[in-house]
Structure 1
Amino acid sequence: MSIIIKNLRKAYGDQIIFDDFSLILEKNKITGILGPSGSGKTTLLNLCSGLDQPDGGTIEGINLSSISYIFQEPRLLPWRTIRENLRFVFKDQAVKRNGAHDQEIDAMLKLVGLETVGDYYPQELSGGMRQRVAIARAFLYPSELLLMDEPFSSLDLALKNKLMGDFLNIWEKDKRTVIFVSHNQDEINRLSHEILTFSDKPVRILRRETI
């Protein structure tokens, strides 16, 4: 099912972010959102995730218990090893027999080129390696919707390109609906199937392109 946003309204005090805003996002596609800083891109992610509530209108087609999030920072637990951080996504699920979760974790670590660091702690890894762990964690969680908030912005160009390649490789094997916000046109162009350009607030869609 597509994500259907109807007549969305959201304001913080006197600052109106969305006013009668409507949008349909396709299932199992990567939608990239560009726009000026403070224009409402992250607010839209927070509304879709249930972290924030709209003042009016509806957002349909999202199972709030089936969402993954990749942030600008990896947000790993420093007192847990990499494998333990990844195992944490299964904490609410029944333990599978024969170490099936660990098999999934090892396969995902191999996919992002980190098969040798499962027993390391986050502080022992570089920033790019930690962000690869964050990508692995997001895909290990059995979500229908993946929200990405500037996940590559703090990385140098070579590392950014490597991580975007890792991301697309995993997504091809495990397609799900993705909303990806960024200030960077090149990032958006490389990853997205559809690109939305937001105006400043209150948000309007200035351009909608299919890649």
Structure 2
Amino acid sequence: MSSPLLTVTGGVEVSNVSKSYGTGDARTTVLDNVSLSIRMGEFVSVIGPSGCGKSTLLKVIAGLTPADSGTVTVDGSTVKAATKNKMIGLVPQSPALLPWRTVLDNVALPMNVNRGANTGRTLRDPREILDRFGLGAAVDKYPSQLSGGMQQRVAIARAFVFDPSVLLMDEPFSALDEMNRDKQRLGLLDFWQSNRKAVLFVTHSVPEAIMLSDRIVVMAAHPGRIAEIIDVTLPRPRTEDVYATDEFRDLEGVVRTTLRNVMGETHV
């Protein structure tokens, strides 16, 4: 039986999605009528205060949490069809690597699960992906033998290996120190710039959102909703030199001002 499909469009389409938790007076609206488009080849970051629904939005798109109302399509397919057909790659906050498998085996794992969905797909060579992420010398090591940053790179490589249409990343560098975090984000940016996917990237870091993104979605809380979408006009490809430019600093000011307005606070 073929997978259920909707009208074919590229990228991700989120239309009027709402999600609440709890019952009665304790019911909380986490997402309130959220609509968002992510085009193929576009990198979109989501930023906002805690409780604004960033991670919930990502989970709804990934099919991990059902929406109460509204629709989500991935490259024209329903979320159910997209997950079945391996169209979505997910990178969680924790690397979630299997400790008894080597780095190479962890990255190759998605290729060995639901093999039927691999038909007609251009699978990436796990060794080549690991080399691109600077992990070529670690293929035979186990997760416990790697630093936190290296483990996270393995998780990202695993998401790329089956060549999904869409990548969903939930604060993948949040547990790293700032120097290591910057190194990892530049490595991700370099790989993505040569292998464009539609990306939704959840973050709390303003510089990270600016460096990586084509657009930044600023969310507000209580209820969770999109407050503003900011275009990032910095040219690509980007390197660490962009941090020192006036354009970067101007954008940082715009994003921080928007966040201050959203949060109703004097400091972000």
The whole-number CA distance in structure 2 between the counterparts of 1:105 and 1:21 is: 36
Q: 1:69 to 1:61 in 2, by over 3 A?
A: closer
Q: Indicate the SS of the match to 2:222.
A: coil
The whole-number CA distance in structure 1 between the counterparts of 2:32 and 2:156 is: 33
Matched, 1:108 2:129: yes
Matched, 1:9 2:22: no
Cα RMSD, aligned residues only = 1.9
Match of 2:182 in 1: 161
The whole-number CA distance in structure 2 between the counterparts of 1:39 and 1:179 is: 16
Matched, 1:38 2:51: yes
Match of 2:94 in 1: 73
Q: Indicate the SS of the match to 2:33.
A: strand
Which residue of 176, 186, 196 corresponds with 2:217?
Answer: 196
Matched, 1:137 2:158: yes
Which residue of 59, 66, 69 corresponds with 1:53?
Answer: 66
Q: 1:35 to 1:117 in 2, by over 3 A?
A: same
Unaligned runs of 5+ in 1: none
AA partner of residue 203 (structure 2): S
Match of 2:251 in 1: none
The whole-number CA distance in structure 1 between the counterparts of 2:214 and 2:40 is: 11
The whole-number CA distance in structure 2 between the counterparts of 1:29 and 1:201 is: 28
Kindly state the Cα deviation for residue 139 of structure 1 after the two structures are TM-superposed: 0.9
Q: Indicate the SS of the match to 2:34.
A: strand
The whole-number CA distance in structure 2 between the counterparts of 1:12 and 1:194 is: 29
Greater C-alpha Rg? 2
Contact kept, 8 Å, 2:33 with 2:225, in 1: the verdict is: no
When the two structures are superposed, what TM-score results if normalisation uses the length of structure 2?
Answer: 0.73
Contact kept, 8 Å, 1:40 with 1:201, in 2: the verdict is: no
Matched, 1:146 2:167: yes
Match of 2:242 in 1: none
Deviates more, 1:28-37 or 1:54-63: 54-63
**Greater relative CO, 1 or 2 (CA 8 Å, sep 6+):** 1
The whole-number CA distance in structure 2 between the counterparts of 1:186 and 1:42 is: 19
When the two structures are superposed, what TM-score results if normalisation uses the length of structure 1?
Answer: 0.91
Q: Where does structure 1 differ by over 4 angstroms across 4 or more consecutive aligned residues?
A: none
The whole-number CA distance in structure 1 between the counterparts of 2:133 and 2:33 is: 41
Q: 1:117 to 1:2 in 2, by over 3 A?
A: closer
1:26-81 residue CA offsets vs partner (Å, 9 max, x unmatched): 22201000011121000001100111111111112352331111111111000001
Kindly state the Cα deviation for residue 163 of structure 1 after the two structures are TM-superposed: 0.8
The whole-number CA distance in structure 1 between the counterparts of 2:34 and 2:93 is: 26
Unaligned runs of 5+ in 2: 1-9, 76-81, 233-268
Matched, 1:22 2:43: no
AA partner of residue 52 (structure 2): S
Matched, 1:93 2:129: no
